[in-house]
Amino acid sequence: MAGNSKLATIGVDLGGTKIEMALVDAVGRILASHRQLTNPEKGPDAVVADIVTCVEICLGKAGKMAQGLGIGVAGQLDRTGTLRLSPNLPGWRNVPLKVKLEDALGMPVVINNDVRAAAWGEWRHGAGQGVDDMVCLFVGTGIGGGVISGGRLLDGCGNTAGELGHMTIIVDGRHCHCPNRGCLEAYAGGWAIAERAQEAVRTDPQDGQRLNALAGDIQRISAVTVTQACSEGDPLACRLVGETARYLAAGVVGIVNAFNPCLLVLGGGVIQGRPEYVSEVERVVRKSALQTAVEGLRIVVAALGDKAGVIGAAALARDRIEKAA
Ligand SMILES: [Zn+2]
């Protein structure tokens, strides 16, 4: 164990705007971290080179070596570590990112979807420690998740399991960013909350005065504006928040019935911005989900905040290396 406890791995959260990186130890502590802009338009090879530079900086700060690197990427990856497609990295198609990184870094690389990496982080080092059946639902700009069932992360046939934001909650409902309509994300994702709020203000400018004033312009009304206006007691904002809680609850009822987790972890910017959603969702779930599905269920807020991605990616790398040893 002495050897293992010294084993540090690097976790990377690769998004469209930022490369977030941390060197993480065996118990999930961040030893050093670094971040820089992604510049995806320069292409994958330039970004891989930037990641190598970030690794050197990060290891330099900690004065340590790393045994491997885990990376969570906002996009769809196949089982070989090829990035098929990413809405946040425009123009990147079928990029063999794992191979490119291993060649450039000379260390083992484990690659996964960014949201599933974050779920892994919550499971290994956050709110889900010690639980074998857990679902993480991250409600940020979009909505995604990760399902741990029987102590395993659910991958799915094509390695895309966990897209919990794209379950239909309203047939023929609002347009989503996916091919479908009426998805959970199309109502309760940050972008959708902003859209719903902007529509409500356009429909009723009188009632929308506070939201409009806070944002400065209808088009700049965001999910954050809605949360803030509701906390000040603005009736329209509070109506929107109440509706969002009901949409979230509708999704969570489906998740709980489908997966029967012991623990449901709610995280992401929308939840962090208004943690009251957790108890509001729980109240509906206890009433509406199958009795057998809720008997052993706990619903909690995520523990790692915006560090779940890097901590989870590092833990994925560690777990893979230790399994191989
Ligand atoms: Zn969708």
- pTM surpassing 0.95? no
How close is the Cα of 191 to the center of ligand 1, in Å? Answer: 12
Contact between 245 and 257 under an 8 Å Cβ cutoff? The reply is no
How close is the Cα of 36 to the center of ligand 1, in Å? Answer: 30
How close is the Cα of 164 to the center of ligand 1, in Å? Answer: 9
The per-residue pLDDT for 1 is 42
How close is the Cα of 181 to the center of ligand 1, in Å? Answer: 6
Contact between 144 and 164 under an 8 Å Cβ cutoff? The reply is yes
Local structure of residue 16 (DSSP, 8 states) = S
Kindly state the percentage of the chain with pLDDT values over 70: 98
How close is the Cα of 313 to the center of ligand 1, in Å? Answer: 25
What is the spatial distance between Cα 55 and Cα 33, in angstroms, rounded to a whole number? 9
pLDDT confidence of 61, banded at 50, 70, 90? very high
The per-residue pLDDT for 115 is 95
Is a pLDDT exceeding 90 seen at residue 5? no
The per-residue pLDDT for 4 is 56
Count of CB atoms situated within 10 Å of the CB of 39: 13
Q: Radius of gyration over alpha carbons of the chain, in Å? A: 20
42's CB contacts (< 8 A; 6+ apart) are: none
How close is the Cα of 138 to the center of ligand 1, in Å? Answer: 15
Specify the pairing of strand 18-24 against strand 109-113. unpaired
Higher pLDDT, 76 or 219: 219
How close is the Cα of 163 to the center of ligand 1, in Å? Answer: 9
What is the spatial distance between Cα 70 and Cα 112, in angstroms, rounded to a whole number? 8
How close is the Cα of 311 to the center of ligand 1, in Å? Answer: 27
How close is the Cα of 183 to the center of ligand 1, in Å? Answer: 5
How close is the Cα of 180 to the center of ligand 1, in Å? Answer: 5
Count of CB atoms situated within 10 Å of the CB of 258: 13
SS3 271: helix
Angle at alpha carbon of residue 44, lines to 42 and 45, rounded to 5°: 90
How close is the Cα of 316 to the center of ligand 1, in Å? Answer: 27
How close is the Cα of 76 to the center of ligand 1, in Å? Answer: 15
The per-residue pLDDT for 133 is 98
Is a pLDDT exceeding 60 seen at residue 206? yes
Bridge partners (DSSP) of residue 30 are 24
How close is the Cα of 140 to the center of ligand 1, in Å? Answer: 14
pLDDT confidence of 177, banded at 50, 70, 90? very high
